[in-house]
Amino acid sequence: MPTTPTAHHQDTPWHALPASDIATHLATDVHHGLPHAEAAQRLIQHGPNQLPAPPRRPAWRRLLAQFNNVLIYVMLVSAVITAALGHWIDTGVLLGAVIVNAILGFVQEGKAESALDAIRRMLSPQTTVLRGGERQQIAAEQLVPGDIVLLASGDKVPADLRILSAKSLRADEAVLTGESVPSDKNEDPVAEDAPLGDRRGMLYSGTLVAAGTAVGAVAATGTRTELGRISALLAQVETGTTPLLRQIAHFSHWLAGAILVFVLATFAIGVLWRGQAPGDMFLMAVALAASAIPEGLPAIMTVTLALGVRRMARHRAIIRHLPAVETLGSVTVICSDKTGTLTCNEMTVQRAVTAGRVYEVTGSGYAPQGGFQVGGMDASPAGDPVLQGMARAALLCNDSALHQGAEGWTLTGDPTEGALLTFALKAGLDGPATHEALPRIDAIPFESEHRFMATLHHDRASEDGQALILLKGAPERVLDMCDSQATTRLGAQEPAALDHDYWRRAANDCAARALRVLAVAVKRVPARQSTLSWQDMEGGFTLLGILGSMDPPRPEAMAAVAECHSAGVRVKMITGDHGETARAIGAQLGIGLGRPALTGAEIELMDDDALREVVDNVDVFARASPEHKIRLVQALQARGEVVAMTGDGVNDAPALKRADVGVAMGRNGTEAAKDAAAMVLADDNFATLGAAVREGRGVYDNVRKFILFMLPTNGGEALVVFFAIAFALQLPLTAAQVLWINLATSGTLGLALAFEPTESDVMQRPPRDPRDSLLSGLFVWRIFMVSLLMAGAALGLFLWELERGASLETARTVAVSTVVAAEMFYLLSSRHVLRSALTREGLLGNPQVLLAMAACAMLQLAFVHAPWLQAVFGSTDLAPDEWLRVLLAGALVFVVAELEKWVLRRWDRVRPAARTAP
């Protein structure tokens, strides 16, 4: 025997090679395995069967990286300015928000870096091999190419194996392929270009043996396995920033430039044109900069996102990365896995066909809830002895078991057999009583070679103690073993001539609906028979009927898909399952209707440019590999889409990481998928994702509402000072008073908008274009209009008071109070961009707004009347008539803002993007 394999690199198409040639290619002995010395040599050559730990950044570098953010820069600049002016409360709030944000990001990033650890944990710790002719247990990391591995039901596959021999072998490969039922496996080769899910002769590392036994030769270990390839793919995936952070970065740069120009112009006009003292103007310029910088925006964003996290948690959507809250609101395409997300991940019998009737079976999942219908009308299963016979065969010719626990019904065994058990219970059978009346004597287990299972039962209820052979299997195989069919006559079951055409049509009809079809039959034998032989299977069976089962769509997922479509969010299904199954499920969910489906093999033939061209016109993708999923996400992102990707398997992890929002399943998802995702659905339900999109849109609305409130208020303060300097007037506001307004308004009023409830029509709007600016044309106009109103009201009353002979301090106190009152009234109007605030909901819908206004009013009363604040800010007491003018000026801003919204609604002269505003 050669001492080294002739070929063992990862590009060898092991699945296409005959099993008889594998030993030669891997230089091994099928019956004795590798000699110990050879195994040790190969371990040195190939390395241990494990995935290497990725390089990690030190904790201090990850912590510092949290400060590399435009929003953080804005907050730090604001903190420096407020500290230079001695405004320590503002400074403390800003620095506190910076530290909290950094800690949150640091903790979340630490969790995200565990994705590769989760994949490594999927490797089996121990396995059984042949070494030197002896059967022994070794650590899986000691496996090398050429090792002969022995597997039985329940074992985790420790490496990529080429099957040499198998008996009734089935493997659960959902973590790699997304298929909802275990795959049949055997030693036969397949085509070299067969997709992963169709490689029947291979077992892959990290998957599970669902049934049967196998002997396999190790073809690849460690990084050369399919699991290792996905791990390397995950490490290479780069994540992008979120749409809101991109918008905020652009907005912050634009605003910083505008503030700088405005402050420099104000300083130059005051010093060079109006002859103000440079020192006084510098202090005023700094105050203007502090008032114009949106120092409240990062804090409001953090609070708004945190509140969004809390609301989503109530919907069982767990957010792992804070910016994902808002990104959900900007999603334009949801790429969803099929199994467990759009479907129940529980096989269900949906159709039962007898010789005389076609029954539709209602209900989904393993819970025996539902019934039978014929032609849309309810039908009693007790009145059909043939249906009862089918249910009895489904219950008894079965090796699985259902259990009812605190969390509902769970299955031990094969999903298809679980569906048969539920079907029998829906038909009214008592499981324990039926088993007791018809005890199993012998059985022929299911094997892929003969495609049926048979069991022998003694009927204790019959007078002559007859025995029954119950049979279930592939329709074409069972039909060949039957020579009659069961019919109902005078309320009893009678045999009749077998109608082959009828049953073939019925089977084809079920298959066209993507149902997995099983035929069930019965044969009576003498009571003395106690064993089953192959001669018993040669004929004489009476066909009871056929059963069609599938993993059905979740009812709530159908409604959620429809809601997403009405909200302008496209839903695409990307699955590793077969194309026919994917298309049928998609049609039931309303995904891909009238559109072609695309398979992984077809994707493989396209370059990136071609894929970008077709990806928009296809909604169902089948037999997709991890690389295909990443390419599809990237193709959609290249078209300007914001993509959410759902998944549960390790094969989904790279695409989850690459998507704008990765969404993992909390109940049935792998740890690798959860760690790569930004959000986890605790109930594995697509409807939860729809609710999260709704909340995300609400979060974005609240951020925009805050900007629409903040900029006019800051702009109004700045314009008051600018006009006074430009027209050589007395300064209506001092630098300290400008900072007071920021503290009293931004610190109390703006925060209330973070608590705004989500608008009722938010899911009737199309998704926003992620390339749009935060400031639409409507927003720019509103900011300009309200800024002028506030500045005009404050400056007008300031000059009025001076004209009446009031002191400069009193006039300034009136101006400050006017700005604060205008902001309080404008806060009510800011709750809705276009809707009227003059409704019960508009005035009282957010209790936090009323509390904020009350707190702001108390602070302003203290500013005006508290002696110690008068000493600090130079304010004076105001008379009742002065307060009345202040309140009327503030109300004027509210009235004009509401009139402007009324005009826009009335004339409908708003840009399309603005018309979708709340």
Provide the annotated active-site residues.
337
DSSP collapsed to 3 states, 541-607: EEEEEEEEEECCECHHHHHHHHHHHHCCCEEEEECCCCHHHHHHHHHHHCCCCCCCEEEHHHHHCCC
Where are the alpha helices (H) located in 330-468, listed in sequence order? 385-396, 415-426, 431-437
Q: Is the four-CA dihedral 528, 530, 531, 536 of positive or negative sign?
A: positive
| Residues belonging to the chain | 918
Q: Which two tokens stand for residue 433?
A: 């009583």
DSSP assigned state of 190: -
Cα separations (Å) of 883 from 387, 740, 748, 864?
85, 18, 21, 10
Provide the CA 792 distance to its chain's centre, in angstroms. 49
CA–CA distance, 322 with 128 (Å, rounded to integer): 45
- Is residue 368 within 8 Å of 425, Cβ to Cβ? yes
CA–CA distance, 217 with 149 (Å, rounded to integer): 6
What single letter denotes the amino acid at residue 388? Q
**Residue from 114, 118, 206 nearest 671 by CA:** 118
Angle 856-862-865 (CA atoms, 0-180°, nearest 5)? 140
Pairing of strands 148-152, 208-220: antiparallel
CA–CA distance, 3 with 35 (Å, rounded to integer): 10
Backbone angles phi, psi at 692, to 5 degrees: -70, -35
In a 3-state reduction of DSSP, which class is residue 815? helix
Angle 757-565-552 (CA atoms, 0-180°, nearest 5)? 105
CA–CA distance, 395 with 431 (Å, rounded to integer): 7
CA–CA distance, 20 with 213 (Å, rounded to integer): 18
Specify the DSSP element, H or E, that contains 893: helix 880-907
**Residue from 240, 34, 44 nearest 136 by CA:** 34
CB-based burial, 497-532: b 16+ in 10 Å, e otherwise: ebeeeebeebbebbeebbbbbbbbbbbeeeeebeeb
CA–CA distance, 487 with 493 (Å, rounded to integer): 6
CA–CA distance, 484 with 481 (Å, rounded to integer): 10
Give helix 385-396 / helix 415-426 axis angle, nearest 10°.
140
By the 10 Å C-beta count (0-12 exposed, 13-18 middle, 19+ buried), 730 is classed as exposed
Q: Which two tokens stand for residue 305?
A: 């996102």
Contact partners, residue 377, CB within 8 Å, separation at least 6: none
Q: Which two tokens stand for residue 57?
A: 């950044």
Q: Which two tokens stand for residue 771?
A: 């390339």
- Is residue 315 within 8 Å of 328, Cβ to Cβ? no
CA–CA distance, 307 with 457 (Å, rounded to integer): 61
CA–CA distance, 460 with 448 (Å, rounded to integer): 32
